[in-house]
Amino acid sequence: MVAAEPVKRSLFGQDLAIRTVSGIVLVAIAGTALWLGGIAFWLLLMAGALAMQHEWAGLVGRMERRRLSMLALMAPLSMLSPFADGPGFLSLGFIIGGAFFIATIDRGFRLAWGVLYCALPVMALLYLRQQENGLLLAFWTMATVWATDIGAYFAGRGIGGPKIAPSISPSKTWAGLAGGMTAALLFAMLLREHLDLPYILVLASAPLAIVAQMGDFLESWMKRQAGVKDSGTLIPGHGGILDRVDGLVPVAPIVATLVAANAFWALG
């Protein structure tokens, strides 16, 4: 009974209240931009990607070239706009080119990887949004990560148990992973029932929850290497932008690839 008290405070105390309010605000902003689509969605994703690159430079210890890396990221982000090429092979070439430019100038790939890390999920989400059922696809992609985070948070704090990788992320438990996968699957089933989400995507929800958690572990490892608790302080209760979207970064490109592959085979 003595050991349960800290868990109770953690679950229902001030920390949860701050995280909840911040989360609601973030979801409202992202949801509005997603609903509007077009220029509004692109502007939000562009702003988020530039903030991510700013934090990435700090995590890899290259703050002196922070502005240069953000400028290199601007070119592919501009190509992704509704006024330019949008998500396509030309924009992908600009993303790769921006990464190689930074690698050449910085004589290393630590900072350059940030261009790929920040730009590829933007391209993926814009690609998903422009599909015929793009609003549902992009919303499900983003909400799957949100559901995973929520399920993992409550299951991990409420149940506890063995840690997955305590040397990387001491708070992540196997119970939390199971809770995240369950929440993602249940949410997808809800979308299937009310919005006719494709059944194959319902089946993909639980595996994608694992991918989201892997993205979380990668960012946690980077923070350990940098010796910091959070990637930034922009979002109360959540840390930086990278702390909030670490699961979405790998999930969005995978979903976009699956959708593109399905469209290709359908044409065949």
The pTM score is 0.89
Residue 4 identity: A
Share of the chain above pLDDT 90, in %: 70
Beta bridge partners, 235, equal 239
Residue type at position 218: L
Interhelix angle 134-159/174-195, rounded to 10 degrees, is 150
- Of 107-111, 120-124, 263-267, give the lowest mean pLDDT range: 263-267
User: pLDDT (tens digit, 9 = 90+) per residue, 184-199?
Assistant: 999 999 999 999 998 8
Q: Which of 173, 212, 204, 174 is nearest to 187 (CA)?
A: 204
pLDDT of residue 1: 40
3-class state of residue 3 by DSSP: coil
User: Over 70: is that where the pLDDT of 13 sits?
Assistant: no
Residues 131-135, mean pLDDT to the nearest whole number: 93
- pLDDT of residue 266 exceeding 80: no
Q: Which range among 129-138, 146-155, 258-267 shows the weakest confidence by mean pLDDT?
A: 258-267
CA–CA distance, 45 with 245 (Å, rounded to integer):
11
pLDDT at 91 > cutoff 80: yes
Rounded Cα gap, residues 91 and 80, in angstroms: 6
Q: Is the pLDDT of residue 12 over 60?
A: no
